[in-house]
Amino acid sequence: MRKPKSFQDSQGDIVSAVTTSAAQAFLMNLTGSVLSAPAWWSKKRDEWLNEFWRMEGNDLLAGAISTLTSKIVAANWYLEGPESLCKLYRNILLYEAEEQQGWDALISKWVEGFLVRDSGGFVEPLRASLTSTGPALGFKHIDESKLYPNTNPEYPFLYVGEKDTIKLKPTQFLRLVDMESGRDKDFGVGFSSVSRAVSTAIIMMEIVRYKRERLSDLPPAAILFLSNLTTAQWEDIVAKYDTQQKNKGNETWRSLLVACGYDPEFPVHAEMFELSKLPEHYDERTATEMAIYTFALAFRVDPREFWPVSSGPLGTATEAQIQHKKAKAKGEGIIFSKIERALNNPLILPEGLKFRFDYRDDEEDMAGAEIAQAKLRNIRMMWESSPNRIAVQSAGTDAYGQPLPGPVNEGIITTEEARQLLIYEGLIPPEILGVSVEETKVYDVRSYGERVRLYRDGIKVPWKSESQLKAVLRP
């Protein structure tokens, strides 16, 4: 198969060195003062967010991003369609995507952009040529630091490379963006999970820095008031102390600094006023759990995805089960559905081929089976005869032209109507009941073979209805 073309192939490494270095310098300048994010929305904020979550001391936020990203990467998925196409695109997604690095590398970068950047995460669909609009033959992550919104809707983004600038059409990228703005002037920029959690993350970082400074031998951020000791005398004491420790080779664990008074009648008195300290009645565990709760709210997931707590501020075990079910329809559920819609675009995957995540657990499968059983029972009750109903014989009338009662009772729906309801509700596939179906639903019009469901791990299941698949896959 020909190697698909990418507009990024002709580009060098990152060109926005100025932007990156500026962001780093900006962070370094703020480290010693008050850390704050640039205002929304700006390219500067996007680069700041990308640098911020990797900063030392941002352990909780980095862990939250890593946890949710890993969950999406490890989720099972399948392709449904003609067998040959399923095998071809399973190989493309699983092994050839992201320049042969495969699915894990592609999705982790894509989801990271979605979680961190307000502008979202981007992937380029590779095709036979740069002018082609046919199905994608490969996928490659786009470095978001090189993308800039454009006022021309025909070319929504500009890719600023090392050599030149490329105008991107909507067919040249796949975009995942969270909470997309509805204002035209915002260029479809959203409000990412990290943006929603940045204030809490900064507070937790400052607490980590405070604890690290308290555990070190460095002087705290404070004002020292000395009585009965001149500035020159104090500087002389400190200089002698530093020289003594250097001669002994002490770098981490140092001896105690002793300041002796020069006049016995006026003893040395020192009073320190700390500029930074923890609030009164501060409880580290409670503060950490509340931060985790805030991160869970920002990422739309169950707090126990980030922190194993069985009671306290995060609730009881019963509440945890309820929160878990609700979160599956929000956090990872939104990401799953966005990736599915992006890949199932007719200009990305061939017509007749569908990509789906298989993230339903056993409890959800059991609930679906119970719903199917209830539907089947209702249809059967409507079809079965009842002694309270007398069927009407289809042939023969009395002297007044009224139909004669028949000897057999019937339900309120006929057998044919019951068959149609079973098919309509997806309880029984049409071919089992001998009902004709469109040929394209079972076989591709270009004769690519029998329709199958091919899973990520290579398991192949013949095409069946949902109820049949559950019966096949359930042990």
pLDDT of residue 218: 63
pLDDT of residue 31: 44
Q: How many residues does the chain have?
A: 475
pLDDT for 212 beyond 60: yes
pLDDT of residue 278: 74
- From start to end of 259-402, where are the E strands? 269-274, 354-357, 392-397
Question: Mean pLDDT, the chain, as a whole number?
Answer: 79
**Which region among 83-92, 319-328, 355-364, 399-408 has the lowest average model confidence (pLDDT)?**
319-328
* 3-state helix vs strand vs coil in the chain, percent to 5: 45, 15, 40
pLDDT of residue 359: 73
pLDDT for 216 beyond 90: no
pLDDT of residue 462: 79
Average pLDDT over residues 415-431: 77
Residues 134-184: tens digit of each pLDDT: 899 999 999 999 999 998 989 999 999 988 999 999 999 999 999 999 998
Global confidence as pTM: 0.71
- Considering only residues 363 and 307, tell me which one the structure prediction assigns the higher pLDDT: 307
Q: Kindly indicate the confidence band of residue 473, based on its pLDDT and cuts at 50, 70 and 90.
A: very low
| Cβ within 8 Å of residue 363, ≥6 positions away | none
pLDDT of residue 412: 80
**Which region among 120-124, 132-136, 411-415, 471-475 has the lowest average model confidence (pLDDT)?**
471-475
Give the integer Cα–Cα distance in Å for 123 and 109: 9
In the numeric block, the tokens 């990228």 are attached to 173
Residues 30-70: tens digit of each pLDDT: 444 568 899 999 999 999 999 999 999 999 999 999 999 99
In the numeric block, the tokens 């469901």 are attached to 453
Residues 362-411: tens digit of each pLDDT: 566 677 788 888 988 888 888 886 655 555 444 566 666 666 555 455 67
- Token pair, residue 274, equals 């700390």
pLDDT for 246 beyond 50: yes
pLDDT for 351 beyond 80: yes
pLDDT of residue 55: 95
pLDDT of residue 28: 43
% of the chain beyond a pLDDT of 70: 70
- Token pair, residue 408, equals 């057999």
* Nearest CA-CA partner of 234 in 246, 219, 249: 219
pLDDT of residue 388: 53
- DSSP secondary structure, 407-433, as one string: SS---SS-HHHHHHHHHHTTSS-GGGG
Residue 474, burial from CB neighbour count under 10 angstroms (0-12, 13-18, 19+): exposed
pLDDT of residue 22: 45
- From start to end of 71-117, where are the E strands? 77-82
Give the integer Cα–Cα distance in Å for 396 and 245: 117
- Considering only residues 212 and 180, tell me which one the structure prediction assigns the higher pLDDT: 180
